[in-house]
Amino acid sequence: MLKNALLLFLFVGTSLCKPLHKRWDDLKVKHAWVDGVPKGWEVVGPAPSEERLAVRIGLKQDGIDDLISHLYAVSDPNHDRYGQHLTKAQVDALSAPHPDSTGLVEDWLSHYDLLHSPECQMTRSSSGDWISLSIPIGQLERMLGTKYYVYKHSATETTLIRTISYSLPTILHDHVTVLTPSTYFSLPKPQRQTSFIEKVGDYAFGALNEAVDIVTNGGVEDSSLPVSPTCDHQITPSCINALYNVSYTPVSTSNNSLGVVGYLNQFASHSDLQKFLTGYKPDAINGDFTVVQVANGGNNQSNPGLEANLDIQYSLSLSYPTPNIYYSVGGSPPYTPDDNTRSNTNEPYLSFIDYILSQTSIPQTITTSYGDDEQTVPPDYAQDVCNGFMKLGVMGSSVLFSSGDNAVGGGDCLSNDGTNSVKFLPIFPATCPYVTTVGGTNGTNPEQAVYFSGGGFSNYFGRPSYQSQPVQNFLTALGQTYSGLYNSSGRAYPDVAAQGLNFQVITGGNIYSVGGTSASSPTFAALVSLLNDARLAAKLPPLGFLNPWLYSQGVKGLNDIVGGSNPGCETPGFQAVKGWDPVTGLGTPNFGLLKDLAVKPTTAGGSAKKRDFSEMGIPRGGW
């Protein structure tokens, strides 16, 4: 009898154990939009159940907190490990998921016969924190307890296959950070004001010199001369050089590069660049950039994009002869409702991060002029993207983003949190605490904030320690003004600023005057690239993640902007004031001062012991 009872107990225990720990039908919501279909999107119809989606599953990284600690250690000029950036192998080791996470996700996929299916084309990232595979939509719907539809964006007519909510088995919630494509509806937009695009004239030397009344020396721009009064309404490379005290020729071009990231079928034109250099930077004639196509990104030279040309013409002309790389990232449009081909998932930031983190070497400086309202990005997605930029920083790359062109908020400024209340709307990825965000200015005497310069406070990310005091100083002076319209404890942006209006750009043989923080970010990034060149020439590592340095030592090399504001949401917006402000950040660059600060030996004030990386099972190393 006792034997039979024991056998019965073991049988019941075993049968209960499996569903207790592996209940794949015990679903819990991972993310859902409160107001249903996001604003600006409409349902076209059900997604075809047999079509396959390229799915990414993000696994929780077991050492992510250690990785963040490393980032601040190697980025703080007062720390004894300043500049000791990690190698790809070290970052991969700290990015790896816990074996339990890997095992559970594999068990889940095996339950649906996906783990070893050749049709799934499963791959893993080098650290194992991402699993990518192809899954039929009908099967994915059963796994996630949801329904996918084809959605169309009313303004752009872009179509996506998405869902407004998805669930995961309860047991996976602590192991999976995000699954895509799911609830990410955001379309990254160039941070370029369309209202400030004005055709100046056809490209020709005569038309060029007539259209752009610049200070010249024998028909060639002379950057050694003072700032021309015409720079108040026409910005050219010589204006930037004169205004920001730039007089430096790169010498570390064999081990320094500048990356420019573009999305949405924006292609940079080689021929337009040559015309631009002929008129505005003749000593750089025949300078060129390389193109890297990511996630089926294109390179249609017969259809150049104004955004792409703006970025590359100023990044290259200001950093020449530093090698420039244009990353053309695919993802728009991903789906045509009347075909049955495999759709592109249109997760542009993740596509770029996946690619760049798989490379053995990365540019020391990377600039991106795209973004969208933070509230349109699922928080879990935003966190994983932000962590990807953090990894670039800990490996020694300075990552810069435009702050946006909607001032404190665009459109009706209505929140999508269910309250439908008026609030300031911050921009992502500008709000990520691991990137350097660049706001906009205009004018030269004095230089002041341009009124569309995006700035404010994140609703997703808390304020990082490196900016605590400068931001608190601003908030103390602001008092109760705009109380309730912004998150006073959020990551504050922008960090710095640069000119953002009246940039002369050549596209398709025409000269355009262009405005937007799309111009500010590549401009500031080009000067950061020059700083990295100077450091490399001095046998120092590149700056890497800039913000801890900018908010401590680098601020001494910035021009404080104290005029202008960024009105929006039916308010006057924030005012540019002495010290940091959410319009121009810490200010605009004085390159000569920044260079002296960047190559000056640092006296480490940190007391932490240097970590022995052998405990991680990988060798020490870095730049």
Average pLDDT, stretch 402-416?
93
Question: Predicted confidence band at 7 (pLDDT cuts at 50, 70, 90)?
Answer: very low
Average pLDDT, stretch 412-421?
90
| 8 vs 165, more confident | 165
Catalytic residue among 518, 520, 521, 529: 518
The SS3 call for residue 349 is helix
Average pLDDT, stretch 537-553?
98
Confidence at residue 615, expressed as pLDDT on a 0 to 100 scale: 42
Catalytic residue among 307, 354, 384, 495: 307
Catalytic residue among 92, 311, 354, 380: 311
Confidence at residue 286, expressed as pLDDT on a 0 to 100 scale: 86
Confidence at residue 147, expressed as pLDDT on a 0 to 100 scale: 98
pTM (2 decimals)?
Answer: 0.90
User: Per-residue pLDDT for 223 more than 70?
Assistant: no
Q: Which percentage of the chain shows pLDDT scores above 70?
A: 86
Q: Which percentage of the chain shows pLDDT scores above 90?
A: 76
Residue 457 CA to residue 580 CA, distance in Å, equals 13
| Alpha-helical runs (H) found in 379-434 | 379-394
Average pLDDT, stretch 72-79?
97
Confidence at residue 603, expressed as pLDDT on a 0 to 100 scale: 57
Confidence at residue 600, expressed as pLDDT on a 0 to 100 scale: 87
Question: Predicted confidence band at 338 (pLDDT cuts at 50, 70, 90)?
Answer: very low
Q: How many residues does the chain have?
A: 623
552-601 pLDDT tens trace: 999 999 999 999 999 999 999 999 999 999 999 999 999 999 999 999 87
Residue 494 CA to residue 547 CA, distance in Å, equals 11
Question: Predicted confidence band at 331 (pLDDT cuts at 50, 70, 90)?
Answer: low
CATH topology of domain 189-599: Rossmann fold (3.40.50)
Question: What b/e string do you get for 342-373 counting C-beta neighbours within 10 Å, with b at 16 or more?
Answer: ebbbbbbbbbbbbbbbeeeebbbbbbbbbbbb
Question: Predicted confidence band at 203 (pLDDT cuts at 50, 70, 90)?
Answer: low
Tell me the chain's radius of gyration from C-alpha atoms: 25
- Count the helices and strands in the chain (H runs, E runs): 15, 29
Whether 518 is catalytic: yes
Confidence at residue 8, expressed as pLDDT on a 0 to 100 scale: 42
161-175 pLDDT tens trace: 999 999 999 999 999
Neighbours of 42 (CB within 10 A): 11
Q: Residue 438: phi, psi to the nearest 5?
A: -115, 120
97-137 pLDDT tens trace: 999 999 999 999 999 999 988 999 999 999 999 999 999 99
436-470 pLDDT tens trace: 999 999 999 999 999 999 999 999 999 999 999 99
User: Per-residue pLDDT for 330 more than 80?
Assistant: yes
Whether 319 is catalytic: no
Closest CA to 166 of 154, 152, 178: 178
User: Per-residue pLDDT for 607 more than 50?
Assistant: no
**Tokens (6 digits) for 205:** 């030397």
Confidence at residue 200, expressed as pLDDT on a 0 to 100 scale: 81
358-382 pLDDT tens trace: 999 999 999 999 999 999 999 999 9
Indicate the annotated binding residues. 560-561, 579, 581
Residue 357 CA to residue 385 CA, distance in Å, equals 12
Q: Contact, 517 vs 403, CB < 8 A?
A: yes
Question: Predicted confidence band at 345 (pLDDT cuts at 50, 70, 90)?
Answer: low
- β-partners of residue 162 are 149
- β-partners of residue 399 are 366
User: Per-residue pLDDT for 622 more than 50?
Assistant: no
